[in-house]
């Protein structure tokens, strides 16, 4: 019994000392000291890459997609040259040449491509100005992407895309919107004349 009473007394003493420590409020005074901040040189260790895609890059890329950049190619549908022009498109642009003249003249082919880009730029100017930089029907719109799509599908089909989401596919199953995406973001330098 004496041991039990001693345990109770010790517990009461412990409880009251614990209780007293809960009632104490300790005030800690903190002093503000200036902090020196050392920032790294803003250009140190940063690699700057400029991804410039210009006019010639656009022509090389679209030529590669169309023909592997081969001027002498005629495909199974009769489309000719580096950019795979049809006879009716060439006539519509004012190029009255034979197949042999066309596929043997890189000069004529490059002039025809410039003429087609200018023609399509004029036909699609209002759509380019209205939608450039926006996503339309899931595709980011840029001038080069729109003109590439018009090269594949014609300006009329590109207009249908903007107006109602029309998707053109060529004879090989290539979708017009794939050209809009693949050839997006090039800076074109178009100049008049044939």
How do residues 22-76 score in pLDDT, each as one tens digit?
555 566 666 656 666 666 655 555 555 556 799 999 999 999 999 999 999 999 9
Q: Can you give the residue range of the structural domain that contains 111?
A: 55-182
53, 65, 193 from 175: Cα distances, Å: 23, 13, 30
Residue 141 is assigned to a structural domain of this protein: yes
Residue 150 is assigned to a structural domain of this protein: yes
CATH number at residue 116: 1.10.530.10
Residue 37 is assigned to a structural domain of this protein: no
**pTM of full prediction above 0.85:** no
The model's pLDDT over 85-116, given as tens digits with 9 standing for 90+, comes to 999 999 999 999 999 999 999 999 999 999 99
Q: How many domains does the chain have?
A: 1
């Amino acid at each position: 019994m004496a041991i039990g009473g001693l345990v109770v007394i010790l517990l009461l003493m412990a409880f009251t000392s614990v209780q007293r420590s809960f009632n104490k409020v300790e005030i800690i005074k903190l002093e503000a000291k200036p902090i020196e901040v050392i920032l790294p040189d803003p250009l140190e260790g940063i690699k700057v890459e400029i991804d410039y895609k210009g006019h010639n890059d656009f022509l090389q890329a679209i030529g590669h997609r169309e023909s592997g950049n081969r001027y002498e190619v005629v495909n199974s549908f009769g489309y000719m040259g580096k950019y795979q022009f049809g006879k009716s498109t060439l006539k519509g642009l004012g190029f009255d040449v034979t197949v042999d003249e066309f596929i043997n003249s890189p000069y004529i082919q490059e002039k025809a491509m410039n003429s087609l880009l200018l023609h399509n730029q004029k036909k699609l100017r209002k759509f380019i100005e209205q939608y450039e930089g926006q996503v339309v029907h899931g595709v980011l719109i840029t001038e080069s992407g729109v003109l590439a799509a018009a090269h594949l599908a014609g300006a009329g089909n590109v207009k249908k895309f903007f107006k109602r989401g029309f998707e053109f596919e060529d004879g090989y199953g290539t979708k017009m919107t794939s050209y809009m995406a693949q050839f997006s973001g090039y800076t074109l330098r178009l100049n008049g004349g044939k």
